[in-house]
Structure 1
Amino acid sequence: MAVLHTHSFGDPAGVPLLAVHGITAHGGRFRRLAEEAWPHRRTLAPDLRGHGRSTADAPWNVAQLVQDLADTLDAHGVAGPVDVVGHSYGGVVTLAFLAAHPGRVRRLVLLDPALLLDQATAQEAAVGNMTFEGWSSPEAALEERASGVAANGRDAVVADLAEHLSEGEDGRYRLRFHVPAVVAGWGEMCAPLPSLPEPRPTLLVAATQAPFVHTGVRVGLAALLGDALTTAEIDCGHMLYWERFDETAALVAPFLA
């Protein structure tokens, strides 16, 4: 049993909500959504295995991550069904969580999920993570990370690096994640969609400037979820809750109300 390091936001007495981050990320990224879009909820946002301040021990497959989420909810006294939000790789993990524990999910939000990833993209990303030598300084990290999002996402990048950037023994700066766990995660993103014995109301929010929610994902989720699926789009990059916070909150909060 592994209890993940968990960021808790909002009202401790509120209705619980589980938020699951993407690859190389951490649960702290949900702070603004939790505190501004649904502050009345008790948001639990764990660092996945191999990420942030959670254990880096193997195995790193989705089945283990799903079990980690169940164990973590148990440790926080959350027994009944909860609303679940997953971004990117978190969408892969939360969909698998629904498949394994349908009785523990009330509603599901998939924020630009990285499902059915093509092999070439996954391999390129994994090799990039394995060969990355780190940044020379926090300023260099900020410059590169901020260049990957719209200008209005820069403040979010600053806050993220304050929490998620660490200096290694070699004096280089890297995000807090375990490279083997991340490499395993890229492979898991290529897996087929799971079967869902009991679909739940699901909101899919696609970032139209990102490549992740392609036709195969849309068709696959529609077949999997049927009338339980609601779809929406935001004209932005993959970090939609950084680049288009208001639009993201305006879609997700009413769905979870």
Structure 2
Amino acid sequence: MNRYSPELSSRVIAGTVDVGGSPVHYWEYPAIPGSAETRTMLVVHGFRGDHHGLERVVEALPGLRILIPDLPGFGESPAFPDREHGIDSYADTVAGLLDALGLDRSTVLLGHSFGSIVASHFVAAHPGRVAALILVNPIAAPALEGPKGGLSKLAQFYYWAASKLPERAGQAILRSSLIVQVMSVAMAKTRDPELRRFIHAQHHAHFSSFANRTMLLESFKASISGNVRQVADRLQLPTLLVAGEKDDVTALPEQRVLLGMLPDGELQVIDGVGHLIHYETPLEAASAILSFLQAHPAEDA
């Protein structure tokens, strides 16, 4: 099933840049000619995702120039050859991409889920490097705390166990279609059967596109040890939180706590959706992004 328009595939330009001695593959979606909006946005995908996951949002933002890399170890980008797949390493990748792609300080940075941790920590370490920050389904609180802490600990055991098993058995567990299906069903909130089939197909196609189980465990540890709240007071730039009303990963009350910690933040809540805003409600997400960018034009950044 393909819910993307033919125009999207005709727009995309694939490229590769060297970042810290490692090739990073990225996809550029130029703005449609004649668009009034000329902003450039760099997008950071979530854990076990790749550039495909954000394409429905890209499709809904034809007036923006958007670039999405596959983070090292995911999708088509190889794993780091000589460092751990942690938040700091991924934040360094964002810095390297901005420089390698010639993206100036007017650039907008967007992070989804785990990408929200990477993007926020990058901004905290590099104040003034980008003009605005957009966090979709942000990880606003520690994963091992709160009502969903038990599920996070169960996931932690799953990744740990898979890393201790013999290679073939560990890989089989990590790439298990049954596990992927359970995860996909749990996160999808839509009742539209066609959309649910599309979401499950996307997860089955891309959720297991990781380089090896060592980097996957390292990045999982980063995803549960880091959160946006850790650096919230250092995000001295316009910041938009796009949260799902039914998000099971970070509940809405935690998003409101995070909002109160941001120096210049705003929160847009999308009703009826959970942690898959990028799949289930891309038009609503795009509308929130455009409204935010119009309120914070490039010349004011």
TM-score w.r.t. the length of structure 2 is 0.70
Distance in 1 (alpha carbons) for counterparts of 2:23 and 2:127: 20
| Paired residue secondary structure (2:124) | helix
Q: Which amino acid aligns with 2:29?
A: F
> C-alpha deviations, 1:160-184, integer Å up to 9, x for none?
544x26xxxxxxxx34354223332
- The range that moved more, 177-186 or 100-109, is 177-186
Q: Deviations over 1:90-147 (max 9, x none)?
A: 111111111112212211111111232232443322323343715666xx68854652
Report the counterpart of residue 246 of structure 2 in structure 1: 209
- Whichever residue aligns with residue 76 of structure 1, its letter is L
Any residues of structure 2 matched to 1:107-256 within 5 Å, and which?
Answer: 107-119=132-144, 120=149, 121-130=151-160, 131=162, 133-134=173-174, 144=182, 146-148=184-186, 149=188, 150=190, 151=193, 152-159=195-202, 161-162=204-205, 164=206, 174-176=208-210, 178-189=215-226, 193-194=230-231, 196-197=233-234, 199-211=236-248, 212-225=250-263, 228-234=264-270, 235-256=272-293
- The structure with more radius of gyration: 2
Partner of 2:27: 7
> Are the structure 2 counterparts of residues 76 and 160 from structure 1 closer, same or farther at C-alpha, using a change threshold of 3 Å?
farther
1:29 equivalent in alignment to 2:53: yes
Q: Which residue of 2 aligns with 1:63?
A: 88
Corresponding residue SS for 2:231? coil
Query: Structure 2: 5+ residue runs without aligned partners?
Result: 1-19, 163-169, 295-301
Matches of 1:213 and 1:103, distance apart in 2? 30
Residue 38 (structure 1) aligns with:
61
Identity, in percent, stands at: 26
Residues 160, 135 of structure 1: alpha-carbon distance in 2 compared, 3 angstrom cutoff: closer
Q: Give the aligned CA root-mean-square deviation in angstroms.
A: 2.8
The alpha-carbon distance between structure 1 residues 33 and 68, as it changes in their structure 2 partners (threshold 3 A), is same
What corresponds to 1:48 in structure 2? 71
Q: What TM-score, normalized to structure 1?
A: 0.81
SS of match in other structure, 1:194: helix
Aligned residue identity for 2:280: E
Give the gaps of 5 or more residues in structure 1: 166-173
1:19 match:
43
